[in-house]
């Protein structure tokens, strides 16, 4: 089942069910947040709609009319579950290696997720504008102390995310020991949130086993596969819920999708490519992004993120 959120003039939009080909939709009479909060009651209602769409029902869908599937969330927790990405960054910047088997995770901005086609306004080019392609999940209510085994039952939907980053600000904030605020603006989401069954064999052991393809200004940048997570999404849920409940609508990210054979499959963020260049050539060669640049991401049934970076308007 593919779900999306139609812009309707409200902050949360209107939940819709989308046909398999992404061309038509039917309204669900709720919001995405309502659906994940009351999943036991809402899921049977939602699952009745794809059959009507398959029979030719519904209205034509314009991707430009969509918000992010969950336009704002109670919580956004982003992991770093791909070891190759961490190892490359540590080698390039001579930083201490991550030790132990605890997943890495931080809590980011959650009150707004950008739609898949809207411009991305940012204040300055010199902040080191970068993208990070990753997969994410939207969960139901999770009790404190939930185990990884039990966590799988709480995964409601899977999404594709571009976690925008400002790389020259990030090291300054990290040195404070308090984490990121300015270095992590609003993330973007691909148009469709899908139930795990839509992925079929590509959903294995809490991992999205699909290539995530990134293009910058129409040129291929990478297509690493999400199967290489060291910790599956169920592990990330258990880690986050160790000392607190997680409310329905929490979004948890995988972190930058990265593969060991990066020379062949490329990367899903510019900082990783620059790290590889530093290791191979002694200095980065790929510049960060500029105003006017376009970044697109696509993977399987999630649809595409396709956005242009713009200068943030000066406040009145």
Three-state SS letters, the chain: CEEEEECCCCCCCEEEEECCCCCEEEECCCCHHHHHHCHHHHHHHHHCHHHHHHCCCCEECCHHHECCCCCCCCCEEEECCCHHHHHHHHHHHCCCCCCCCCCCEEEECCCCEECCCCCEEECCHHHCEECCEEEEEEECCECCCCCHHHHHHHEEEEEEEECCEECCCHHHHHHCCCCCCCCCCCEEECCCEECHHHHHHHEECCEECCECEEEECCEEEECCEHHHCCCCHHHHHHHHCCCCCECCCCEEECCCCCCCCHHHHECCCHHHHHHHHHHHHCCCCCCCECCCCEEEEECHHHCEEEEEEEECCCCC
Verify that 80 and 38 share a domain, yes or no: no
Q: Tell me which of 15, 48, 67 is where a domain ends.
A: 67
Residue 103 located in a structural domain: yes
51 shares its domain with 86: no
Q: Is residue 316, in this structure, part of any structural domain at all?
A: no
Structure tokens at 187: 């993330």
Residue 265 · residue 224 · CB < 8 Å: yes
Same domain for 96 and 235, yes or no, is yes
> 42, 67, 92 — which closes off a domain?
67
Q: Is residue 130 part of a domain?
A: yes
220 in any annotated domain: yes
Give the Cα separation of 14 and 190 in Å (integer): 16
* 139 and 19 within one domain: no
Q: What pLDDT shows up at residue 261?
A: 95
Same domain, 89 and 53: no
- CA atoms 57, 60, 63, 66: torsion sign: negative
Q: Is residue 59 domain-shared with residue 117, that is, in the same domain?
A: no
Using alpha carbons only, give the angle 132, 187, 257 rounded to the nearest 5 degrees: 25
CATH code at 111?
3.90.850.10
Yes or no: say if 180 and 106 are a contact pair by the CB < 8 Å rule.
Answer: yes
Model pLDDT, residue 91: 85
Residues 147 and 207 in one domain: yes
**Within-domain flag for 81:** yes
Specify the number of domains making up the chain: 2
The total number of residues written for the chain in this structure: 316
Do 54 and 146 have their domain in common? no
* 253 shares its domain with 182: yes
pLDDT value for 98: 64
Rounded Cα distance, 57 and 304, in Å: 24
State residue 25's pLDDT score.
98
Measuring CA to CA, which residue among 181, 156, 145, 130 is closest to residue 252?
156
Supply the pLDDT for residue 114.
98
- Is 17 contained in some domain? yes
Print the domain residue range for 201: 70-311
Calpha distance 217→220 (Å, rounded): 9
Q: What is the pLDDT of residue 246?
A: 98
Maximum separation of any 2 CA atoms in the chain, in Å:
59
36 and 150 housed in the same domain:
no
pTM given for the model: 0.96
Distance between CA 194 and CA 249 in Å, rounded?
14
Say if 75 falls within a structural domain: yes
The closest alpha carbon to 250, from 259, 239, 260, belongs to: 239
**Using CA atoms, how far apart are residues 3 and 212, in angstroms rounded to an integer?**
20
- Predicted pLDDT of residue 134: 98
Q: Which residues contact 262 (CB under 8 A, 6 or more apart)?
A: 84, 88, 222, 224, 272, 276
Nearest C-alpha neighbor of 161 from the set 193, 118, 139? 193
Boundary of a domain, candidates 22, 44, 67: 67
**275 and 172 within one domain:** yes
Kindly give the parts of the chain with pLDDT less than 70: 97-100, 316
Are 147 and 43 within one domain? no
């Amino acid at each position: 089942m593919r779900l999306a959120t139609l812009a309707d003039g409200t902050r949360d939009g209107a939940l819709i069910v989308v046909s398999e080909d992404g061309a038509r939709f039917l309204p669900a009479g709720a919001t995405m947040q309502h659906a994940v909060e009351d999943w036991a009651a809402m899921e049977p209602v939602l699952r009745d709609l794809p059959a009507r769409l398959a029979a030719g029902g519904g209205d034509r869908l314009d991707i430009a009319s969509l918000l992010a599937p969950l336009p704002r969330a109670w919580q956004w927790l982003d992991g770093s579950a791909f070891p190759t990405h961490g190892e490359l960054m540590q080698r390039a910047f001579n930083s201490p290696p991550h030790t132990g088997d605890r997943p890495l995770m931080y809590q980011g901005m959650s009150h707004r997720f950008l739609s898949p086609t809207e411009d991305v306004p940012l204040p300055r080019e010199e902040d080191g504008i970068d993208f990070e392609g990753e997969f994410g999940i939207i969960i139901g209510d999770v009790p404190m102390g939930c185990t990884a085994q039990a966590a799988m039952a709480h995964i409601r939907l899977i999404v594709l995310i571009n976690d925008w980053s400002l790389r020259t600000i990030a090291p300054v904030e990290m040195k404070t020991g308090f984490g990121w605020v300015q270095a992590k603006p609003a993330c973007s989401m691909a148009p469709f949130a899908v139930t795990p069954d839509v992925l079929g064999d590509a959903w294995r052991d809490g991992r999205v086993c699909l290539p995530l393809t990134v293009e910058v200004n129409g040129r291929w940048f990478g297509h690493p596969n999400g199967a290489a997570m060291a910790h599956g999404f169920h592990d990330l849920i258990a880690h986050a819920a160790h000392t607190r409940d997680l409310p329905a609508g929490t979004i948890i990210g995988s972190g930058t999708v990265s593969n060991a054979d990066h020379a062949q499959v490329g990367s899903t963020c510019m900082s990783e490519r620059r790290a590889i260049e530093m290791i191979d050539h002694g200095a980065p060669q790929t510049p960060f992004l500029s105003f006017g640049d376009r970044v697109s991401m696509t993977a399987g049934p999630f649809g595409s993120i396709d956005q242009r970076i713009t200068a943030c308007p000066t406040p009145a």
